[in-house]
Chains A and B, each alone.
Chain A
Amino acid sequence: SQQGEEDPQALSIQEGENATMNCSYKTSINNLQWYRQNSGRGLVHLILIRSNEREKHSGRLRVTLDTSKKSSSLLITASRAADTASYFCGPLPMYSGGGADGLTFGKGTHLIIQP
């Protein structure tokens, strides 16, 4: 199954700074989704970028996708303490019509915003 691998594994920045995290994946995708997980909670969908898109914005979030490099990045601008969480990317593979595919996430990037 497709797995996104997030980098770095941990990131600590000061409140107000920008945070950038990256995702790499292995095979052709339909779309790529970014999720946030607060400690002890489920994942919350942040943004979805389709394979034919290169950049997408949502509020303070900016996502880029480079299918030639099989990579994506998530930028959070003007970070806040409430952004402290783990961030996961979920590449959705092209639908194969069978097999155990789905969104399979890597270890995530643990982001800490220092006040």
Chain B
Amino acid sequence: DGGITQSPKYLFRKEGQNVTLSCEQNLNHDAMYWYRQDPGQGLRLIYYSQIVNDFQKGDIAEGYSVSREKKESFPLTVTSAQKNPTAFYLCASQASRQGIYSNQPQHFGDGTRLSIL
């Protein structure tokens, strides 16, 4: 079945540590996104990528980094610079952000819940 897989489901970070959240999709989608969701809040865009080897900052990119070396993979690193990383992180993909494909929905993974030890 096609879809998006996020791992791990739960992750704990120690002070000063960088952690990487995995996001893999087999939908052959060009565009991928990372969102952060705090309790009782909406989703905020961290980073997005329209195509391999290209990505753009979202609204809250500080303290995060991404890479897009392969079409199917868009890992998110939460660095030690992110002082309040506890949240639910969601990855999504879309066929494309451009042209007729912009009317395609985003497909979401089941999220990674990150907590501080």
Interface residues on B, range: 20 to 34
B interface list, Cβ under 8 A from A? 4, 6, 33, 40-45, 48, 56-59, 61, 88, 90, 92, 97-98, 102-103, 105-111, 113
Can you name 18 A-B pairs with beta carbons within 8 Å? A30-B103, A40-B88, A40-B111, A42-B4, A43-B43, A43-B108, A48-B103, A50-B103, A95-B98, A95-B102, A100-B45, A100-B58, A102-B97, A103-B45, A105-B42, A105-B43, A107-B42, A108-B42
**Inside 8 A of B4's CB, which chain A residues have their CB?**
42
A78 sits at the interface (CB 8 A) = no
Q: Take A40-B111, A102-B58, A104-B59 as given contacts and tell me if A45 and B106 are in contact as well, using a CB distance cutoff of 8 Å.
A: yes
**CB-based contact B111/A1 at 8 Å:** no
A64 sits at the interface (CB 8 A) = no
**CB-based contact A102/B45 at 8 Å:** yes
**Inside 8 A of B59's CB, which chain A residues have their CB?**
1, 100, 104
A91 sits at the interface (CB 8 A) = no
A interface list, Cβ under 8 A from B? 1, 3, 30-31, 33, 35, 40-45, 48, 50, 88, 90, 92, 95, 100, 102-108
Q: Take A42-B110, A104-B45, A107-B40 as given contacts and tell me if A1 and B58 are in contact as well, using a CB distance cutoff of 8 Å.
A: yes
Q: Take A43-B90, A95-B97 as given contacts and tell me if A103 and B110 are in contact as well, using a CB distance cutoff of 8 Å.
A: no
**CB-based contact B42/A31 at 8 Å:** no
Contact of B102 among A3, A31, A35, A44 (CB under 8 A): A31
CA distance A43 to B4 in the complex (A): 12
CA distance A110 to B52 in the complex (A): 36
**CB-based contact B45/A48 at 8 Å:** no
**CB-based contact A41/B111 at 8 Å:** yes
**CB-based contact B45/A1 at 8 Å:** yes
10 closest A-B pairs (Cβ-Cβ)?
A42-B108, A45-B105, A105-B42, A105-B43, A43-B108, A106-B42, A42-B110, A107-B42, A100-B58, A102-B45
